[in-house]
A and B are shown apart, each in its own frame.
Chain A
Amino acid sequence: MMRAVAIGWITAAAALAQVPELPAGLGGQEPEKAGEPTLPSGLGGQEPGLPSGLGGGDEAGQHEQQADPADEPEAGWAERWRFGGFFDVRAGARTQRDPYERDASVGEARLRLEAEGAFDSLIARLAGDLIADNLQRGWGPDLETGEGCFDLREANVAISPWSTVDLKVGRQALTWGTGDLLFINDLFPKDWVSFLTGRDTEYLKAPSDAIRAGFFTDLANLEIVYTPRFDPDRFVRGERLSYFNPILGRRAGRDAIQDPLVRDRWFEDDEVAMRLSRNVGGYELAAYGYWGRWKSPAGFDMTAGRGTFPRLAVYGASARTQLAGGIANVEVGYYDSRQDADGDDALIDNSQLRGLIGFERDLPELAHGLTAGMQYYFEAMMGHDEYLSTLPSGGTARDEVRHVVTARLSKLLLEQRLRLSLFAFYSPSDSDAYLRPSASYAIDDSWTAAVGANVFVGRDQHTFFGQFENDSNVFLSLRMSF
């Protein structure tokens, strides 16, 4: 009898243990196993002890610009506009003497101020740098070259008049094409001086004053950029970097500052650039067209003794896709030098065919935060025989084909605070090279310090990188963003 009772009791107890409503004590289960997490608030468990206003403790010290969207009635002035910018101090010096230049390669303080206003149908952006530059020509600002005490970086308005059309009008940075620091179909103005003297990579792109229109359809996307007044590159003139001067037949700098004939007539000296793109089966395909002028002086006016920007048309195409865990790309472009179609005008650069093929990949197999890329690029001069036949005596001849390979290596360390980077250009045909090593460290969310170098080596003084051999420099910078 007693045994039957015991068995019955045990069975009953076991059955009761399956019923969730009964307290955990009944049925012999332990209340909580070791390691079992407490339920977060919201799942019926104990409060994990958060301060009221979830995450309130995290927000101490943050300066929020925007109002809480939940109770934003009508956006007032303070909510429409957002401001930001940075303060950047930069100093650099040559690593060797240059007879035609100062020892300092860069020495400046920049205060960038940015404002963005978001209205119902448009967004307005304004950004500019106030500059104190040790090496500047004068304090007066020049809106085109960015010299002086002020450089206007952005002044534009973006609207979408129809659902398939985007327009951006005014001063803006523009980029397309698939190359990594190599440009074939990107004919937008570039600031080579900033690039070669150690300013932040952002400054490689000089701003354009243009109208950008994008038409987006299921068939393809078409982007057209109309620049009503020619925007040349901010190219090397000799004020800050010495270069090879073909007239003098040697390197020159501040003793022979380039002062080309300016092309500045509105709507007559204009440029049109176009990109038609479409994704087909995982390939990003694009076709490009450009009608304008060579962006750096590619011609010479004997009467005036000054450089010129001859007319240029570029036709090209690119394809890009994911491949083997990385990105592979190929791009070609034909540079039609309109004023020297036969190639026999000694004073105007000949037409060219340019191409590149590249591949970039993260390498998690080796380390996290490690990226590597390689490119092969060539420039083939059209009409090389004509070029040689009209070359002035004593002139150094350019090769028919210039080959360049590039390599990029970058590594993130210390929880992505430290970024080490190396970009190298090497031309086996020119026997010259350009190395860009750099390290940047995020001290905190606002402050970043960087150090880097621009190293030029070359067998000859007349080749593209070799000419800058006396310009090799190192630089330091400190930036506070707000």
Chain B
Amino acid sequence: MKRPVQSSLFHLVLLAMATTPAFAQEKTAPTEPTVEQIVAAANRVGYYQGRDGRAQVKMVIVDGQGRERVREMTILRRDQPAAAAGETAGGAKVEADDSYCGEQRFYVRFKRPADVDKTTFLVWKRPGEDDSRWLYLPALDLVKPISAADKRSSFVGSNFYYEDVSGRHIAADTHELIETTKDYYVIRSVPKDAKSAEFAAYKMWIHRASSVVVKVEYRDDKDEVYRTYEALAVDQVQGYPTVTKAKMTDLRSKGHTIVTYTDVAYDLDLPEEIFTERYLRQAPRRYMR
């Protein structure tokens, strides 16, 4: 009978096609990345791209009643020590070991609102330990070290916490890959020390191709989502996928903060010295724009 033979042949061809290497997955990863590798890559893309970086940052804070407040600042960031081995002389970066999540230094100089113009904030981030923080108040010419005990309090009145700005230590939580979709790795994370954060768990959607964290849902101990982070726009800057617009929403208060990053630059060769008291008093103008 002709038809059954034809359909058998069709099925056979189809099966053959399905299993020949030409039709195998383009990404010939011998193994899927582990959840630790996925989270480490997201951490690198989120906080550790380039040896250092600069951005002009604007936060628009909208509260539950729709009232707006604006914060504008310049942020300089430097990784300590300079990022992992494998860098070529031309600065083209060979893939760093994604398990790197070391110390960093942040210099944050405010421009707006007017009453905090030139107020500067310096952080020496130490994952797993207490950070060091300093505040410079220009009207008093006062450099003041401040307590870093509170990582999860609002950064300058926004819906972002200090820990969101500087990065939460990835070893502080246990991570589990709960789903892999076409575009995302979906990870569920639970803090190892329940007292270290106000959330009971959070769920991250990490873009598979770029390792950018596209969405985070924070869940309370009733497993209800009370806070969300969303990356709204991503640009390629010097080859690094960079989130240039993001939103943090507090579902309880119905307020949100939208942060935009402009004039982003990496690998500026920022000297380590900038992140010291001297430059709190006098901004390192060369690197600020």
Interface residues of A (CB under 8 A from B): 1, 5, 8-9, 11-12, 15-16, 18-21, 24, 29, 33, 35-37, 39-45, 48, 50, 54-55, 58, 62, 69-70, 84, 86, 118, 123, 158, 160, 166, 172-175, 201-202, 204-205, 214, 216, 221, 284, 320, 322, 325-327, 360-364, 368-369, 371, 412, 415-417, 442, 444-446, 448, 479, 481-482
Q: Is B93's CB within 8 Å of the partner chain A?
A: no
**What is the CA–CA distance of A271 and B251 in the complex, to the nearest angstrom?**
58
Contact B232 A50 (CB under 8 A): yes
Known A-B contacts A54-B244, A54-B260, A86-B114; the reply to A36 vs B205 at CB < 8 A is yes
Q: Is B194's CB within 8 Å of the partner chain A?
A: no
Chain B min CB distance to A247 (Å):
35
Contact B70 A445 (CB under 8 A): yes
Contact B233 A48 (CB under 8 A): yes
- Known contacts A11-B15, A481-B114; 8 further A-B pairs (Cβ under 8 A): A36-B184, A42-B235, A166-B282, A204-B140, A205-B141, A364-B152, A369-B150, A412-B154
Contact A15 B210 (CB under 8 A): no
Contact A39 B15 (CB under 8 A): no
Q: How large is the interface on B (under 10, 10 to 19, 20 to 34, 35 or more residues)?
A: 35 or more
Q: Is B63's CB within 8 Å of the partner chain A?
A: yes
Known A-B contacts A37-B215, A446-B114; the reply to A417 vs B23 at CB < 8 A is no
Give the nearest-CB partner of B13 in chain A: A12
11 A-B contacts (beta carbon < 8 Å): A12-B14, A20-B182, A33-B181, A35-B217, A43-B212, A58-B260, A320-B145, A322-B148, A362-B150, A363-B150, A369-B154
Q: Is B127's CB within 8 Å of the partner chain A?
A: no
Chain B min CB distance to A88 (Å):
11
Chain B min CB distance to A27 (Å):
11
Contact A325 B148 (CB under 8 A): yes
Q: Is B128's CB within 8 Å of the partner chain A?
A: no
Chain B min CB distance to A206 (Å):
11
Contact A48 B139 (CB under 8 A): no
Q: Is B285's CB within 8 Å of the partner chain A?
A: yes
Contact A364 B149 (CB under 8 A): yes
Give the residues in chain B near A446, CB-CB below 8 Å: 113-114
A-contact bits for B224-262, CB 8 A (1 contact / 0 none): 000000111111100001011100000001010010100
Give the residues in chain B near A326, CB-CB below 8 Å: 147, 149
Q: Is B36's CB within 8 Å of the partner chain A?
A: no
**What is the CA–CA distance of A37 and B182 in the complex, to the nearest angstrom?**
12
Q: Is B130's CB within 8 Å of the partner chain A?
A: yes
Contact A36 B181 (CB under 8 A): yes
Give the residues in chain B near A42, CB-CB below 8 Å: 233-236, 241, 244
Partner of A39, one of B60, B130, B148, B214: B214
Contact A18 B147 (CB under 8 A): no
Partner of B130, one of A58, A175, A325: A325
Give the residues in chain A near B146, CB-CB below 8 Å: 327, 360, 362
Contact A361 B149 (CB under 8 A): yes
Give the residues in chain A near B23, CB-CB below 8 Å: 19
Chain A min CB distance to B256 (Å):
12
Number of A-B pairs, beta carbon distance below 8 Å: 197
Known A-B contacts A322-B130, A416-B157; the reply to A43 vs B145 at CB < 8 A is no
Give the nearest-CB partner of A326 in chain B: B147
**What is the CA–CA distance of A438 and B183 in the complex, to the nearest angstrom?**
53
**What is the CA–CA distance of A33 and B178 in the complex, to the nearest angstrom?**
13
Contact A43 B234 (CB under 8 A): yes
Give the residues in chain B near A369, CB-CB below 8 Å: 150, 153-154
Partner of B11, one of A8, A37, A86, A363: A8
Give the residues in chain B near A70, CB-CB below 8 Å: 263
**What is the CA–CA distance of A12 and B18 in the complex, to the nearest angstrom?**
6
Give the residues in chain B near A158, CB-CB below 8 Å: 282
Contact B260 A18 (CB under 8 A): no
Q: Is B207's CB within 8 Å of the partner chain A?
A: yes
Give the residues in chain A near B150, CB-CB below 8 Å: 362-364, 368-369
Chain A min CB distance to B46 (Å):
14
Give the residues in chain B near A175, CB-CB below 8 Å: 140-142
Chain B min CB distance to A202 (Å):
4
Partner of A174, one of B60, B141, B182: B141
Q: Is B192's CB within 8 Å of the partner chain A?
A: no
Give the residues in chain A near B273, CB-CB below 8 Å: 216
Which parts of B29-82 form the interface with A (CB within 8 Å)? 58, 60-61, 63, 67, 69-70
Known A-B contacts A39-B214, A54-B244, A70-B263; the reply to A325 vs B147 at CB < 8 A is yes
Contact A43 B114 (CB under 8 A): no
Contact B245 A50 (CB under 8 A): yes
Contact B263 A69 (CB under 8 A): yes
Give the nearest-CB partner of B60 in chain A: A58
Q: Is B156's CB within 8 Å of the partner chain A?
A: yes
Give the residues in chain A near B174, CB-CB below 8 Å: none
Contact A202 B140 (CB under 8 A): yes
**What is the CA–CA distance of A201 and B139 in the complex, to the nearest angstrom?**
9
Known A-B contacts A9-B11, A84-B114; the reply to A322 vs B132 at CB < 8 A is yes
A-contact bits for B107-121, CB 8 A (1 contact / 0 none): 000001111010000
**What is the CA–CA distance of A368 and B147 in the complex, to the nearest angstrom?**
12
Known A-B contacts A12-B14, A54-B233, A445-B70; the reply to A481 vs B25 at CB < 8 A is no
Q: Is B8's CB within 8 Å of the partner chain A?
A: yes
Contact A415 B212 (CB under 8 A): no
Contact B113 A481 (CB under 8 A): yes
Give the residues in chain B near A118, CB-CB below 8 Å: 285
Interface centre among A37, A45, A50, A371, by most B CB within 10 Å?
A: A37
Give the residues in chain A near B278, CB-CB below 8 Å: 166, 214, 216, 221
Contact B19 A15 (CB under 8 A): yes
Which parts of B150-175 form the interface with A (CB within 8 Å)? 150-154, 156-157
Give the nearest-CB partner of A373 in chain B: B147
**What is the CA–CA distance of A175 and B117 in the complex, to the nearest angstrom?**
19
Contact A16 B58 (CB under 8 A): no
Contact B152 A43 (CB under 8 A): no
Partner of A12, one of B15, B148, B186, B253: B15
Partner of A368, one of B113, B140, B154, B183: B154
Give the residues in chain A near B27, CB-CB below 8 Å: 20
